[in-house]
């Protein structure tokens, strides 16, 4: 042992350095695409959770709201690794393989969209009820209230919560390395943890932290830019 890490660990890291840029790209690509698809599903669900309740702008039957809440709660309760194993057949059917970065997209979306739905619900509940009532009194339709009042008014919170979703999904994508997913998670687990090359694991983890900081910085700035209260 020379210093904290053995020389063979440095050699392994040097051999893996050419793979690091592509691994960073795979992690970024998987996280961004999964978040976008999760938003496509989770945003409408989050809106329905608010506008569809009794007293909302578009009340839905109680049994339907109960079923919707139960499904979202159930999906959120399943640990990601278990959910990932359950969804792998879907990945194989859609993509033709159950390994690699593309195969991790369906499990990431399945794990993320219920979380996104709850984040959207939280953001919409922050909208001042008086603004919604004013729009109703002027004869706005439910769709107009959602599209022109609720979503614009909650935009800073939605962006902030999307940033939270991004960083959470990034953590999920790293765990996907256990089942052969690509990116930095695969390098940290397969080349670092399993082979006892802890320097490789530390470097891959440090790169994950950098990506998280990038997402968080961009998200925070966008949220602040869209916040009308900060422009006074």
Cα(150)–Cα(17) distance, integer angstroms:
47
Cβ burial, residue 104 (10 Å; 0-12/13-18/19+): buried
The whole-number pLDDT of residue 230 equals 58
- Which tens digits make up the pLDDT trace of 83-137? 888 888 888 888 877 777 788 888 889 989 999 999 999 999 988 888 888 888 8
Using DSSP's 3-state secondary structure scheme, residue 196 falls into coil
Cβ burial, residue 85 (10 Å; 0-12/13-18/19+): middle
The segments of the chain whose pLDDT lies below 50 read: 1-3
CA-CA-CA-CA torsion for 209, 211, 212, 216, nearest 10 degrees? 140
Cα(137)–Cα(77) distance, integer angstroms:
40
pTM of the model: 0.85
- Domain residue ranges of the chain, discontinuous segments joined by +: 7-231
Please tell me what DSSP assigns to residue 176: G
The whole-number pLDDT of residue 1 equals 43
Using DSSP's 3-state secondary structure scheme, residue 96 falls into coil
Cβ burial, residue 112 (10 Å; 0-12/13-18/19+): buried
Q: Which CATH architecture best describes the domain 7-231?
A: Orthogonal Bundle (1.10)
Residues 6+ apart with CB under 8 A from 124: 46, 47, 50, 150, 151, 154
Q: Cα 217 to chain center, whole Å? A: 16
The whole-number pLDDT of residue 8 equals 66
Cβ neighbour number for residue 217 with a 10 Å cutoff: 11
Using DSSP's 3-state secondary structure scheme, residue 21 falls into helix
Residues 6+ apart with CB under 8 A from 148: 135, 140
């Amino acid at each position: 042992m020379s210093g904290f890490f053995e020389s063979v660990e440095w050699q392994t890291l040097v051999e893996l350095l050419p793979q690091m840029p592509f691994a960073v790209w795979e992690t970024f690509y998987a996280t961004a695409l999964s978040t976008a698809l999760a938003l496509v599903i989770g945003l409408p669900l989050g809106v329905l959770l608010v506008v569809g309740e009794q007293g909302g702008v578009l009340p839905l039957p109680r049994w339907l709201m109960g079923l919707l809440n139960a499904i979202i709660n159930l999906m959120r309760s399943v640990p990601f690794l278990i959910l990932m194993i359950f969804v792998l057949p879907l990945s194989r059917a859609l993509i033709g393989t159950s390994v690699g970065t593309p195969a991790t997209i369906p499990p990431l979306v399945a794990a993320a969209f219920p979380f996104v739905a709850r984040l959207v619900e939280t953001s919409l509940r922050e909208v001042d009820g008086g603004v919604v009532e004013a729009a109703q009194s002027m004869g706005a339709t439910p769709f107009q209230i959602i599209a022109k009042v609720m979503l614009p008014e909650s935009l800073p919170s939605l962006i902030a919560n999307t940033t939270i979703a991004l960083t959470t999904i990034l953590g999920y994508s790293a765990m996907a390395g256990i089942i052969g997913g690509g990116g930095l998670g695969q390098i940290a687990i397969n080349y670092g943890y399993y082979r006892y090359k802890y320097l490789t694991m530390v470097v891959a983890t440090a790169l994950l932290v950098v990506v998280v900081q990038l997402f968080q910085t961009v998200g925070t700035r966008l949220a602040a830019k869209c916040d009308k209260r900060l422009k006074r």
